[in-house]
Structure 1
Amino acid sequence: MTGRILLYGATGYTGRLIAEQAAGRGLDIVLAGRDAASVAKVAAPLGLPHGAAALDDAAGLDRLLAGVAVVLHVAGPFSATSRPMVEACLRNRVHYLDITGEIAVFEHCAAMGAKAAAAGIMLMPGVGFDVVPSDCLAAHAARRLPGATRLTLAMSGLNAMSRGTAKTSIESVAKGTAVRRGGRLTEVDTVPRRRFDFGKGPVDGIGVSWGDVSTAYHTTGIPDIDVYFETTPELARIMGLPRFVRKLMGTAPLQALLKKAVDRMPAGPGAEHRKTARALLLAEVEDADGRLLRSRLEVIEPYALTVETALLIAGKAAAGAVRPGFGTPAGVYGPDLILEIPGSRRDDLNA
C-alpha cells in the first residue's frame, strides 16, 4: 500500500511543475506551503488537497504531517528551510526528501542519520537534478573501478535556472570552491579550471561547489572529489571577479540587492526549453596505480528531470522502498536509478 506524499513548496516554480505532473498521474499527494491562499490557488485547478503551515510553526507542521508517509520538500533556499522540516519529519516519523544542491544541507542530514535511523525514517536530500544523475554516474564509475581514489564530475547544459536556484547561487558567491580532499570537505581560493570533452570537442570547465562534493563521497567513499560546470559567459564573469569583490557581494546589503534583482527574472525556463534541452554529465575516476576510466550520461533538461526523479523517488519511498537513516539516491536505489527516467543514456567512454 502506498502512503501519502506531502509536497511542501508547491507555489514555487519547481513545486508547480511537480504538482501538475503528480495530479496528472493520480498520485496521493497533498500540496502545502507557508501561505494558505497561495497554495489553494495552485491546488484548486488541479483538484488536489492542500494545507499550510509556516516553517517556524512546529505545531502547524505537526498537523500538516499527520497521516503523511513522505515529505517532498521543494521550498528553498534549503539553507534556511531544511532544518525545521527535517525536525518535523523526525518528530512525526515521516520520510524526508528535498531537491537541494547545497553541501551544508547534505552534511547536516548526514549528521542526523543516526537519529533518523532510530526513528525508522529516511533522510534523502537531493532528489532532483541536484544530485540524482551525477550521484548515479559517480556510483557507476566507482563500480567500474573499485578502489578509485579520485573522482571528477563535469556537467554541461545548466545555462537556464529558476529564481530559487539563482538565489542559492548568490548565497555562495563569496565562498571559495568546495572540494573533497582525503575524505574531508575543504575550500580552495583559486577557482579550479579544466577542459572537458562532452562529445563535441574540448570545452572549458570551471570548478563549482556542487552537492556531489558531499554526496558522492557518502555514495562511493572516494576520498578526492571535484565538480565542474562547462563555462558559460555569466559563470566566467562571476568567478573571474577578484576574491575581495566576491566577498563584498556576500555582505547582507549586497545579497539583498542581488536577490531583489533575481525577483525580476522569469520564474524559470519555459515549457519549450524544458521539452527540448538536454544535459550531459561526465565522470572520471582514477586509482592509485594511475588507471583512469570515464563515463558519460545524457539526460533530459534539468528542471524536467527534477520533476521526474523527485516523483520517482517519492513514489518509491511512499511504497516503503526506503533505508532508514541518511541516504543518497544512488546509495539507496543503485547506480541504474537514473536509467528509469525515459531519455537517459549512459555510455562508458573507455574500458
Structure 2
Amino acid sequence: MRWMIYGANGYTGELVARQAVRDGMRPVLAGRNARAIHRLGDELGCETSIFALSREAAIEALHDVDLVLHCAGPFTDTSQMMIEACLETGTHYLDITGEIDVFEYVHSKQRATQAKERGVILCSGVGFDVIPTDCVARKLKELIPDATTLALGFSAAAGISPGTMKTAVRGLGSSSVERVNGKLSPFPIGAKRRTIDFGRGSRTAIAIPWGDVSTAYYTTDIPNITTWVPVPTAAAYAARALSWFSPILGKEAVQERLLRYVDENVSGPDEAVREKSSTYVWGEATNEEGRKVVVRIQTASTYAFTVYGALAVVKRLLGSGGMLAGSFTPAMLFGSHFIEEIQGSSSFVIDEIRP
C-alpha cells in the first residue's frame, strides 16, 4: 500500500518521516513548501508530492494513495479539506491533532456515514493526542462498565513544538471545555482545580480543553468527562485571571503578533530532551454508587510517543488488509492495551477505591 505524510517538513512530520525510513518504510513526503519537501525527500530517498490544501489539488495528489498521515496544523484550519479529499479518493485518513473541533467533525454522523459508504477509516489523534489517554479511558470502561464520570490527564516534562504552540495561541481567546451529560460545555480556564497524583506525587491540577472530552465520549459512552494537567498552584490562579483577558487575546491583531512570535522563537524540543523525558498518564472513573477506579501508565515523551504511536497505527492499517470503515478513535480500533505495545510505554497500574 502507498502512503503519505502531509506536512512532512513540519517539526513532528519530519520526526515521523525520519523514523519511518529508519523502520524500513518509504512514505510519500508531501506539503506545500517545495524546497523543504524536496530537500527532505532527497535526504531520505523518498518520493515527494507538492500541493497546497485545496480540494482539487488534494484529490489529484491522493488518487493513488491508500493512506495519509496528516501532520500539518493547526488542524482546525487544515483537516477538513484533507478529510473531504480522502473521502472522495477512498484514502484512509489519520492525523495527530488534539483539537476538539476536529474530533467532533470526524465523529459527526455525516462523516461517519460517508466513511462507511466509501470504505474509509477516519481516525484523528494518533499521536500523544490522544492514544495514551484514549487507551486509559477504554481500560477504565472495561474495569467499571457502569461509570458515569471520567477524568483523564497527564504530566509531561518535554518542551513544545511550533505547531502545538500555535494551537495553544489560537485557544487563548476561548474557554475550557468539559463533557456534561453527553454535551460539550464551556467554562472559564482555571475555574476547575483539584489535587491529582499522576504517578509521581500529588500535584495541583487544572482542567483544560484536551481532546479526550470529545474522543473519550465516543470510545466509552461515559457522559461526564474532564481533562487535567498539573501546574504550580500560583499558575492555577494565574490561569483563572488570564481567562478574563480572553476577548483581548482572541483579537485578530493580537493573535497575529503571538503567532509571529512563535514562528520566530519556538523550535521544539531537541532529540536529547525527547529521549530522556517521560510522561505520566492518569485516569479515574466513578459510578453512581461511588466506586472509583484509577489507572496510571508511563510513556515516552510526548513528541517521541507521537512518532512511535502514529507509525504503529500506520503499520497496523497498512498490514491489515480488509478492515472496518467509519470514524474511530485509536482505542476503538485497537483496544486499551494498544498503548502498552508502543515503544517507551510501561504497563497499566490499577487502583480501586471503594466507597
TM range (shorter): over 0.9
SS in 2 for 1:200: coil
2:85 is the counterpart of 1:84: no
Q: Distance in 1 between matches of 2:200 and 2:319?
A: 41
Amino acid at match of 2:170: E
SS in 2 for 1:263: helix
Identify the residue that residue 147 of structure 1 maps to in structure 2.
146
Identify the residue that residue 277 of structure 2 maps to in structure 1.
277
CA contact (8 A) 1:133 1:338 kept: yes
Aligned-residue Cα RMSD (Å) equals 1.6
Write out per-residue CA displacement over residues 195-240 of structure 1, whole angstroms, 9 at most, x where no aligned residue: 1112332111011000000000000000000000111589647623
Q: Distance in 1 between matches of 2:25 and 2:237?
A: 43
Identify the residue that residue 264 of structure 2 maps to in structure 1.
264
Identify the residue that residue 13 of structure 1 maps to in structure 2.
11
Q: Distance in 2 between matches of 1:235 and 1:215?
A: 27
2:291 is the counterpart of 1:291: yes
Identify the residue that residue 249 of structure 1 maps to in structure 2.
249
Q: Distance in 2 between matches of 1:106 and 1:235?
A: 28
Q: Distance in 2 between matches of 1:109 and 1:186?
A: 19
Amino acid at match of 2:51: A
CA contact (8 A) 1:55 1:61 kept: yes
Identify the residue that residue 61 of structure 1 maps to in structure 2.
58
Residue 26 of structure 1, CA deviation: 1.6
CA contact (8 A) 2:92 2:121 kept: yes
Q: Taking every aligned residue pair, what percent have the same amino acid on both sides? A: 36
Map 1:164-203 onto structure 2 (within 5 A): 164-189=163-188, 191-203=191-203
Amino acid at match of 2:342: I
Identify the residue that residue 45 of structure 1 maps to in structure 2.
43
Greater CA drift, 199-208 or 271-280: 199-208
The normalised TM-score by structure 2 is 0.94
Identify the residue that residue 95 of structure 2 maps to in structure 1.
98
CA contact (8 A) 1:154 1:229 kept: yes
Residue 72 of structure 1, CA deviation: 0.1
CA contact (8 A) 1:6 1:29 kept: yes
SS in 1 for 2:60: helix
C-alpha distance 79-230 of structure 1, shift in aligned 2 (>3 A) = same
CA contact (8 A) 1:154 1:205 kept: no
Identify the residue that residue 349 of structure 1 maps to in structure 2.
351
Residue 63 of structure 1, CA deviation: 2.4
Identify the residue that residue 136 of structure 1 maps to in structure 2.
135
Greater CA drift, 224-233 or 202-211: 224-233
Map 1:109-128 onto structure 2 (within 5 A): 109-111=106-108, 112-128=111-127
Q: Distance in 1 between matches of 2:336 and 2:308?
A: 16
Identify the residue that residue 310 of structure 2 maps to in structure 1.
310
Identify the residue that residue 206 of structure 1 maps to in structure 2.
206
Residue 319 of structure 1, CA deviation: 2.1
SS in 1 for 2:12: helix
CA contact (8 A) 1:98 1:125 kept: yes
CA contact (8 A) 1:159 1:232 kept: no
SS in 2 for 1:320: coil
Residue 175 of structure 1, CA deviation: 1.4
Greater CA drift, 338-347 or 82-91: 338-347
Greater CA drift, 211-220 or 19-28: 19-28
Q: Distance in 2 between matches of 1:202 and 1:344?
A: 21
C-alpha distance 234-88 of structure 1, shift in aligned 2 (>3 A) = farther
Write out per-residue CA displacement over residues 88-136 of structure 1, whole angstroms, 9 at most, x where no aligned residue: 0000000000000000000001111111111110100100000000000
CA contact (8 A) 1:151 1:226 kept: yes
Greater CA drift, 38-47 or 129-138: 38-47
CA contact (8 A) 2:158 2:269 kept: no
Residue 168 of structure 1, CA deviation: 0.1
The normalised TM-score by structure 1 is 0.95
Identify the residue that residue 331 of structure 2 maps to in structure 1.
330
SS in 2 for 1:172: helix
